[in-house]
Structure formats: C-alpha cells, structure tokens
Chains A and B, each alone.
Chain A
Amino acid sequence: MAALAQIAVRRLFNAIGPVDYVGLEERVAKYGTRSLKKNAKRFGLKLAVSMIDLTTLEGKDTRSKVEALCQKARQPHDNLVTPAVAAVCVYPAMVRHARRALGPHSSVRIASVATAFPSGQTALKTRLAEVKWAVAEGADEIDMVINRGAFLAGEFSLVQDEIAAVRATCGAATLKVILEVSELETYDNIRAASFLAMRVLRPGDFIKTSTGKTTLNATLGNNQVMLEAIRDYYLETGIPISMKPAGGIRTAKQALTFLVAVKETLGDAWLNNVRYRFGASALLNDLLRQLEKEKTGAYPAPYYFSEATESY
C-alpha cells in the first residue's frame, strides 16, 4: 500500500473511532427484550410493510414473475388494509417490466441493482454504463455495490471515487450503497465503509448492508453500527443518510426489533420509508400474517397469503 493511502486509512479510522464487538452485541441484544403490545405492535407492523423493498434477484426472473411482484407490492393483501410497500427491487433487465406493470406515477418505486451486482468485479466504465441503462429503463433508485477488494486492500480513495462516480451517473435517482458487510468482516470496517460512502452521498441516499448473496446478511449488530454511523454523520453535518438492511430478515419479530433499534438510535425522523427500508421478500407475508392475527386473534395458515416472491 502506498504511504499516502496508508495515512488516509489511519486518518479515517482515527477520526471515526473504534467499535467494540462485545459491547455492541450486548447493546443490540437489549432491543430484542422490548415488548410491543397492541397499538404499538400494529403500528410497527404496518410501518415495516411500508418500508419493504420487495425483492427478486434471480437469474430465472421473468417478466411475469416481476409483474406478480409489482402487483403484490401495490396491494400486499387482498383483504387487509395495509400500505403499499416502498419499492420493488429487481435486476436492470427487469426494470422495464416493472415500469410497465406499475405505470409511470406509481407510489411504489422501482429500485434496480446495478454495478455488476453482486460482486462488482468489472470495469468502472461497464458499471457506470449499467447504472445509466437502469435509470434510462425507468429505475427510481439504484442499489450499487462498493469495491470490497479495493477497500480491503486499503485503497479507500478508489472506493470513494467510484461511489461518487456512480452517484453522478444516477442523476435524480436515489442511490443505495451496498457495503456487503459480511465481506468487510469487522465492525470497525463496516463503520469506516459507512463513512466513506456517506461523505459522497446526497441527503436521502442510502447505505445498505448486503447483497443477500452471501451467507451472512443484515444482522442487528451491523445494522446498529451503520445506524450509529448515520447518527454521528448527521449530527456533524446535518446531512441525513438513509439506511437499508437487506437479506436475512424474514420474520415480523425480527423486523420490529430492527425498528426498535432505529427508534432508539436515530429517533422518530427515521421511522419512515424515506429514511429506512427493509430489503426483503419473505418478510412481507409474515408481517401480513401478524397483522391478521392482531385483527382476528388467530393465526391464519400461510397458504392464505399470496406468494409472489421467493426467499431473500
């Protein structure tokens, strides 16, 4: 590593301070002991529904699969009164199908992964071209991956410059920067990567935990590290960055615990789908099932809920 790059790495870590793994895990374990009853539970469940980026990212995705996903996104349940989800999240090739299914003025946004998702291992030129194409196809939001190889090699400015380049290419589209936390491995690295990204983002852009394509995705722990990074950055600069945990959040109970973490770390201003999202698919039906249970007092069988998604 070049000496200057090394100094930059040191400087960043010194400026943002370390994270203690044990202490952080202890903190997030306490979120799980919060007991949500009645109205608080219903509010949380509906809030979670409204925050979902309903996702399908498969090689086997087709137009009809995406159309089904869009319908589910607009109307999560045929009977329950629920908000629509925040967005659908698809590959760039599927964006045009989503746009056609949702129409030009849908409240459900279209997010597209781009930048050679999930690895990002191709030329920057190619990645930027993909972003441009996805936006042209009708994507409202772009989910990019950072260059983890460069990050782990200590080439922080390269990582940051690439994020800046993607942001510039996004135009009006919202940018979500996927850190792929399981490949960064330590909480210190996750915090550092969060700051690298936030410093070149616009208000309302996101940092996001994972692609959903690795073994370990969003956890309460890495969610907390990123929420605290967002909080520190916001209090320092006034720029509110949004947050999206993705992958591995499958149950309503999990989602509520993540929301408790948001409420108690960032406060009320982040309890909406402009500032917080869940990248998930299986989660939606469990939320609906819990809402139905709150309404009727009984758990309906899973087959009462339409399956328009696969696990993510």
Chain B
Amino acid sequence: MPTLLNKKRSASSLRRQAAPALIFGDLWAYDPAPETADPKLKTRYELFIGGKFVAPASGQYFDSINPANEQKLAEIAHANTADVAAAYRAAKKAYEQTWSRLPGRERAKYLFRIARLLQDRAREFAVAETMDGGKPIKESRDFDVPMAAAHFFYHAGWADKLEYVAPGRRVAPLGVVGQVIPWNFPLLMLAWKIAPALAMGNCVVIKPAETTSITALKLAEIFQDAGLPAGVVNIVTGFGDTGAAVMAHPLAAKVAFTGSTEVGKIIMRSLAGTNKKMTMELGGKAANIIFDDAPLDQAIEGIVNGIFFNQGHVCCAGSRLLVHEPIAATVLAKLKQRMRTLRVGDPLDKNTDIGAINSKAQLATIKRLVAVGVKEGAALYQPDCVLPAKGFYFRPTVFSGVSMSHRIAREEIFGPVLSVLTFRTVDEAIEKANNTAYGLSAGVWTDKGSRILKLAAELKAGVVWANTYNKFDPASPFGGYKESGFGREGGRQGLLDYCQFV
C-alpha cells in the first residue's frame, strides 16, 4: 500500500532528497491484460482465385509464424507462375464479363458491404493482424483495422461519382491491375490498394508479403460473404518469385508496388519497355524537425509516435530527428525519459506500446545497422526494459551525435531506431532534411505558423506534418518524391492512378 500521509513525512524530509530524477519503477505494475478475442485462424490457407479458395498448382506450402513467440500459426500456399496466370485469367474474365459493366453505384454497394463486414469483425481481425505481424494490439485495434474499413468506405463513396474525379474529362478503368504489398501494414495496405482499384472498376491480382498473408486471406472470406463477383479480387500468396510473376504478367495493365526501394528498382527495370502503368510507394528516411519554440512535450510524443509506431516498420517513420541546437540537450533528455515509460513486450497485451519485430530477418537487419551506428561512433541509448525470452524483439533505440555522413542517417533501418542530428538555422534544417535519396514524409514542430508554411513548401517530401506525425486519412493523398516512389494513394489523386482518360 502507498504511504499514507502523516506528519512524519514533512516538507523538510522531502527537501533532503538527492539529485532530482524520476522513478519509473514497479510500485504500481500493470497486470497482464491480453486481448482474448478469437482470431478464427485456419490451419491452412489456400490461394483465393476466381472467388474460391484453391490449392496451389505447385502443391507447396510454407509456414506463417507468430513473431511474438515464434510459434506456427498456419500454412500458406506458395503460388507459382501457373497459379498467378490462373489468377490473371480469373481477373480478366471478371473484368470483361461483370465488374467493368456494373454501374458505379452497384460497385459501391460491394465496397460498403466489405467495409461494414470488416467493422463487424474488427476485433477478430485486429487479433489476427497482431498475431501474424507482431504489432501491438492497441495499434491494430485502434489504427489498422478501422483505417482499412475507412478506405473501403471512402472509395465506396467515390464509385458513383467518378465523373467528378477529373472535371471535364471522362475516365475509364485500366483493366486488371497487379499489386504487391509489404508486411508492415498487411490489412491496411491491402485496403489502400484494393479499394481505389475496385471503385474505379478495375479487377485485382494481389500478393501479400510472405510473413503476413493471413489477414489478406481472412479478408477474402469477407469478399465471399459480401458476394463480391468471382475473380474481381484474386489473392496469390508466396515469396519474391510469386511477386515477380504478379508484376511481370502480360495481362496486368498496371502494377502497383509498396515495399523497399531496392525491390522497386528491380521491378521498374523489369517493366522498362512495356506499356504497363505503374505506381511505386517505396522507402523513406523522414526528417522530423524540432525548432526551439516548439511545444516540447507534444513534440516528444510526436517523435515517439514517429519512430516507435509499429516498431518503426513504417515507410514514413520519422527516423531522422533534426533538433534546433539550443534545445538539443533538453529534447534528448526528455526523449530518453519518455522512452523509459514505453512498454515493450507481448503484442497481444493491451498495454504494450512496442511489440515484436516482424521477422527474424528484419531483426537481423536492424541489429546489423545498429552495430554500424555504434562502430561509426554515434552514442547509443536504449532503456533497460526486459524483453520476452522468445520471439523477435528490439529495444527502442536512439543514436545521438549523428551527422549526415553516418550510415544510420542515410539508410532506411525500418526498425525502432532514431538518429538525432542538430541544426542551427532554418535553411540548414531544410538542406539537411532534403539531403537524402528519399522524400516520403517530414515533420515540423514550431509555434510559428509562417515557418510551417515555408518548410511545407521547401521540404521535398510527399507529406509534411506540422505539430503532429503519422496522421492518415483516406481523403488525403500519400506518396513520395525522389526514390520514395511516384503515384499517390488516397484521395482524388489516388483514384487518378487507377484510371485512364477516354
């Protein structure tokens, strides 16, 4: 029990305390609070082609594991080129015979239905997403699943209003589109890709990432329940070879890829000389810029949200912190203090702030780059939290004393690792922020409105957040500059990437 007030603990005894430091101990430890909803997983997931779950022609399956405890969750079918070809044939047939002939308001009905069914089963999907990918349940519950539903709702609203999407122009769908998505937001990326394509009247062949295929196939169950015509969406699971087949198939009128810049470049090379349209949403190394007049405690929350959200597996993560020199020490001290209260552990626990790293391979990449940071002389800080014995975990990490020529300031780490740099003037901040091959996002923290407007104009980034970070909305287009890719997702601009003018 807490100390009750009595006269013995008077003001004078409090005054005798040593150097001021806050104690974040276990006086009041939170008990485990696991989310217990049933994720309703199958032991084996087949391919979803032509509205049916079908066994892969290859006859091969691979295991999908829970990165939080390394236990096997399910077997996933490995699609080969024959399976991908079957998926494209099914999509082509659906496109020609049903989907492209439906009026927009009919397509909208299906999208609305999918959104509502996803909301109905939100908790189940959130648990499945967390078990499959390792992200904390509070994120899958409060962000991934509601946002995925929001994208279907938003694009359902567009489906019967497409004559207004490009005033003065007539738009038509492209046909069949091939899509490959990453493992960091499996369900949300699926929604980002599928919803606009379908609203515009296209049919889809999509490949989820090999470590996170389960919620995609669960969504296929919803497509069936919604009565979505067979072949409108086809889901082929597998590794890079499957993805390459999806991108290369001649029936694809357009390909859309979200993933690493490295793979994006390979795809672009392979598509050179074809008449396929493409959009690429690739890596990032975003600058989060803090000026000395910023609301500091809120900025600290923004920094934490920017880099530790989803274990830093975010392409727009604020992985480079640019701090105004006069406040650098204060910001670093506040940030370290805040990091001591972050709870790392079981992703299914409702009080977990940072969950499991998505895969063993990604954990190895993070460790490798962190070792490089240490070797290059940057100062490392990690709070001394206890990590679970089994599973893939990494402590939230901050490097201070980083300069622009450190590798950790240039390469995308895609983990909970922040590099802190300083700047002296506004122009220096802009120059440093733009001194990168990427250009997906940036953050600006200042109390001064004119400075926000100047930076928003001069930062070469697809999104510039002011006094906030990682805010998304289906109505707001998202996409990159430079090697972060091209094309936009969300909003009117996102729809335009799924149509042609006629």
Q: Do A and B bind each other?
A: yes
Interface, chain A (partner B; CB < 8 A): 17-20, 22-24, 26-27, 33-41, 43-44, 46-47, 50-51, 83-84, 86-87, 107, 109, 174, 202-205, 228, 231, 234-240, 259, 263-264, 266-269, 271-274
Query: In angstroms, how far is the closest chain A Cβ from the Cβ of B62?
Result: 35
In the assembled complex, the Cα of A203 lies from the Cα of B302 at a distance in Å of 32
Q: Verify A238–B293 contact, CB threshold 8 A.
A: no
Q: Verify B295–A18 contact, CB threshold 8 A.
A: yes
**Which of B1, B297, B468 has the most chain A CB atoms inside 10 A of its CB?**
B297
Q: Which residues of A contact B9 (CB under 8 A)?
A: 274
Query: In angstroms, how far is the closest chain B Cβ from the Cβ of A19?
Result: 5
Kindly list the 7 A-B residue pairs having the minimum CB-CB distance in the complex, ordered from nearest.
A23-B298, A35-B33, A20-B295, A268-B27, A204-B11, A267-B22, A35-B350
Q: Verify A272–B3 contact, CB threshold 8 A.
A: yes
Q: Which residues of A contact B14 (CB under 8 A)?
A: 203-204, 240, 274
In the assembled complex, the Cα of A86 lies from the Cα of B14 at a distance in Å of 18
Q: Which residues of A contact B468 (CB under 8 A)?
A: 22-23, 26
Q: Contacts A17-B295, A40-B31: A203 and B4 contacting too (C-beta < 8 A)?
A: no
How many chain B residues touch the partner (CB < 8 A)?
Answer: 43
Q: Verify A268–B17 contact, CB threshold 8 A.
A: no
Q: Which residues of B contact A269 (CB under 8 A)?
A: 22-23
Q: Contacts A33-B142, A204-B14: A237 and B20 contacting too (C-beta < 8 A)?
A: yes
Q: Verify A33–B138 contact, CB threshold 8 A.
A: yes
Q: Verify B25–A203 contact, CB threshold 8 A.
A: no
Chain B at the A interface: SS class:
loop
Query: In angstroms, how far is the closest chain B Cβ from the Cβ of A187?
Result: 9
CB under 8 Å from chain A, chain B span 1-15: 1-6, 9-11, 14-15
Between A and B, 10 residue pairs with Cβ closer than 8 Å are A23-B468, A43-B28, A44-B28, A46-B1, A47-B2, A202-B11, A235-B20, A263-B28, A268-B27, A271-B2
Q: Verify B350–A267 contact, CB threshold 8 A.
A: no
| Residue B467 is within 8 A (CB to CB) of chain A in the complex | yes
Query: In angstroms, how far is the closest chain B Cβ from the Cβ of A276?
Result: 9
Q: Contacts A23-B302, A273-B2: A234 and B295 contacting too (C-beta < 8 A)?
A: no
Q: Verify A38–B23 contact, CB threshold 8 A.
A: no
Partner of B293, one of A17, A39, A84: A17
Q: Verify B28–A18 contact, CB threshold 8 A.
A: no
| Residue B447 is within 8 A (CB to CB) of chain A in the complex | yes
| Residue B19 is within 8 A (CB to CB) of chain A in the complex | yes
Give the residue name and chain of the A residue nearest to B333 (CB).
A235
| Residue B29 is within 8 A (CB to CB) of chain A in the complex | yes
| Residue B32 is within 8 A (CB to CB) of chain A in the complex | yes
C-beta contact mask, B25-43 vs A, less than 8 Å → 1, else 0? Answer: 1011111110000000000
Q: Contacts A18-B293, A267-B22: A83 and B1 contacting too (C-beta < 8 A)?
A: yes
Q: Which residues of A contact B27 (CB under 8 A)?
A: 268, 271
Partner of B296, one of A17, A33, A204, A236: A17
Q: Verify A84–B30 contact, CB threshold 8 A.
A: no
Q: Which residues of A contact B299 (CB under 8 A)?
A: 23
